[in-house]
Amino acid sequence: MALTLLWWYFSYCRDDAVVISGRKLARQIRQEARHEVEQWVAAGNKRPHLSVVLVGENPASHSYVLNKTKAAADVGISSETILKPASITEEELLDLISKLNNDANVDGLLVQLPLPGE
């Protein structure tokens, strides 16, 4: 809804400069997402679940993943982070991704980039 209102506002105010509060807009989007997840679960559906695969020890990647899992929790989405060593083979990683893709409990999958060696 916030995005729809924002689009509508911009379509009628193209000649005027508009200051947008990114924090306020982000808060509105999070509230809407939280509400939609609550409605989804209240209707008898399972809570959405995000699986994150994190390979190696890149501090920036760890920080990014932590922020994603916090954001998921903030809107009512459960999540897990699967840590794998930088020594994982391509075949092992592809097998893990395939397993997660076929897991009925997983609704979203994030493989954090960059992978070691990229």
Cβ atoms 115, 54 nearer than 8 A: no
Instruction: Choose, from 28, 61, 78, 84, the residue flagged as catalytic.
Output: 61
HSE (CB half, 13 Å, CA atoms) of 19?
A: 1
**112 carries an active-site annotation:** yes
State how far the Cα of 117 lies from the Cα of 17, in Å rounded to an integer.
45
The verdict on whether omega for the bond into residue 116 sits within 30 degrees of 0, i.e. cis, is no
Catalytic residue, candidates 28, 68, 78, 84: 68
Please indicate whether residue 98 is annotated as part of the active site. Answer: no
Distance, CA of 80 to CA of 49 (rounded, Å): 8
**Can you give the C-alpha Rg of the chain in angstroms?**
18
Active site residue 39: no
Question: Do the Cβ atoms of 72 and 79 come closer than 8 Å?
Answer: yes
Q: Active-site residues: which are they?
A: 61, 68, 112
